[in-house]
Amino acid sequence: MNAQESQVFISCRNINNHNNIYNFKQGFKHFRKEANRMRKNFLSIAVTLGVLFSAAGQARAKEPLNFIFITTCQGEAFFEPVKKGMRDAAAALKVQCEFTGTEGVDLKAQAEMVRKAVAAGCDGIALNIIDADAFDEVVAEALAKGVPVVAFNVDAQGAQAKARKKDGTADSKAAGAERLSAVCQDFVKAGRTLGEKAVAFIPRGSKVLITLHDEGISALDERQQGIQEVLKREGIAAKVICSSNEPLKAAERIAAELKAEPEIRCVLGTGQTDTEAAGKVIERDYAGKGYQSAGFDLSGEILRLIEAGVIQCTIDQQPYSQGYYPVVQLTLYCRYGIRPSDIDAGAGVVEKKDVRRIIGLTREHYR
């Protein structure tokens, strides 16, 4: 290549470099323009999605969810705090709740109420599962139709499932029918708690009367079991009776037992009606004669008798929480798919020193 050809080659190469630089600058400008356009589009999409998700969340929150509580012995005074908790949670979460049930223990009628609630289109059910087998079928039917079921107050189905799992006899049918969660007391443990407190004041050498206000309620059987475990360990004899869920009849039955067996010097109740009835009988017929009593649940009369020294203590299962938390669980599950979990309502010991603090809350149905 001569000098002239070399000069031409260099000039061409410079022109090409200039063109490349120009093209690069133009390409970069185009890239920035496209990037800005894409960024704006992305922001627009993000805002749109945000509005859509927000609207969806608001729509879920505004859904007219309807829940129903189905229990046994619905007229029992014990359920007043449960209803209060249910109503407070419903107001806070803007859902509708109904509390219903059978007048006495009627497993068939209570199960049929579950079917009717599902057929009526309810969004969720809180069920007092007082029997380990009676509600398996209707709970399975409800779950199969997309209606969530949680247990409150008593969870015999869950207790049985746990027992089967523990002893290795669990089956797929029981597991499939199991409720989603439970808000209730650990009844055997609570019975042991009462038994441990009672051994300190049961008169030496005497016999204990253990009362259940109804037959066929697993919670009462389990509390009685826990009490008996402690009494047997201590060598204390006990007799178990069903005293009735009607206050006057319960008092009559307890009075008859104390009269018929003078060696009975202590009455331990497993529920509100019989605990209150035992206290009234001892106050009326055996005041100052060394008779003792204790039991479960709270009422104005039970607290009065504790303050008077007639009833030594009672075990509180915090029923307000048993009405409040099932509403929360059902709402979160229906709106957001958040699966509920079991909650132990507790076994708080209420003695004379606690009465003043609690009595006002009892009148307002928080305790």
Is 352 inside any structural domain? no
302 and 208, same structural domain?
yes
Separation between Cα atoms, residue 85 and residue 137, nearest integer Å: 28
204 and 179, same structural domain?
no
Separation between Cα atoms, residue 289 and residue 274, nearest integer Å: 20
166 and 265, same structural domain?
no
Measure Cα distances from 229 to 145, 195, 232, 237 in Å: 42, 8, 5, 11
Contacts of 102 (CB under 8 A, 6+ apart): 71, 72, 73, 74, 109, 110, 113
pLDDT of residue 174: 44
> Which long-range contacts does 348-351 make (Cβ < 8 Å, 24+ apart)?
348/315, 348/316, 348/318, 349/193, 349/197, 349/313, 349/314, 349/315, 349/316, 350/298, 350/303, 350/306, 350/313, 350/314, 350/315, 350/316, 351/306, 351/312, 351/313
Contacts of 272 (CB under 8 A, 6+ apart): 76, 77, 78, 213, 295, 296, 297, 298, 299, 302
305 and 194, same structural domain?
yes
Nearest Cα neighbor of 334 from 180, 227, 116, 153 is: 180
For 204, list phi and psi in degrees, rounded to 5: -60, 135
Is 363 inside any structural domain? no
pLDDT of residue 167: 56
Output the six-digit token pair for 343: 């909650």
Across the 367 residues of the chain, what is the mean pLDDT of every consecutive 10-residue run?
A: 48 49 50 51 40 41 85 93 98 98 96 98 97 94 97 86 54 59 95 98 96 92 97 98 95 98 98 97 96 95 97 96 98 97 94 94 90
157 and 102, same structural domain?
yes
For tokens 């599902």, what's the residue? 118
pLDDT of residue 363: 87
Is 4 inside any structural domain? yes
91 and 58, same structural domain?
no
* DSSP E strands, 213-342: 238-242, 264-269, 292-296, 311-316
- Domain span at 139: 64-184+319-345
pLDDT of residue 26: 55
310 and 193, same structural domain?
yes
Separation between Cα atoms, residue 303 and residue 208, nearest integer Å: 22
User: Measured at the alpha carbon of residue 354, what is the angle toward residues 88 and 71, in degrees to the nearest 5?
Assistant: 40
CATH number at residue 330: 3.40.50.2300
Separation between Cα atoms, residue 334 and residue 248, nearest integer Å: 43
Nearest Cα neighbor of 183 from 99, 85, 98, 312 is: 85
328 and 310, same structural domain?
no
Measure Cα distances from 72 to 101, 102, 255, 326 in Å: 5, 5, 26, 17
214 and 280, same structural domain?
yes
pLDDT of residue 45: 38
96 and 132, same structural domain?
yes
Is 367 inside any structural domain? no
**Helix, strand counts (H, E) of the chain:** 13, 12
Is 329 inside any structural domain? yes
pLDDT of residue 64: 85
Is 356 inside any structural domain? no
H/E run at residue 120: none
DSSP classification of residue 75: T
Measure Cα distances from 187 to 135, 153, 241, 358 in Å: 19, 10, 18, 22
Is 359 inside any structural domain? no
**Coarse DSSP helix, strand, coil percentages of the chain, rounded to the nearest 5 percent:** 55, 15, 25
Is 123 inside any structural domain? yes
**Pairing label, strands 292-296, 311-316:** parallel
Separation between Cα atoms, residue 331 and residue 322, nearest integer Å: 15
- Domain termination residue (choose one: 62, 81, 111): 62
Separation between Cα atoms, residue 269 and residue 281, nearest integer Å: 13
pLDDT of residue 162: 60
232 and 147, same structural domain?
no
pLDDT of residue 157: 83
Instruction: Report yes or no: 217 and 263 within 8 Å, Cβ to Cβ.
Output: no
Helix, strand, or coil here: 349? strand
DSSP classification of residue 318: -
Separation between Cα atoms, residue 74 and residue 89, nearest integer Å: 19
Nearest Cα neighbor of 87 from 327, 299, 317 is: 327
Nearest Cα neighbor of 250 from 216, 226, 281 is: 281
pLDDT of residue 46: 39
pLDDT of residue 107: 96
| pTM of the full structure | 0.72
Number of domains present in the structure of the chain:
3
How far is C-alpha 225 from the geometric centre of its chain's CA atoms?
Answer: 22
5 and 69, same structural domain?
no
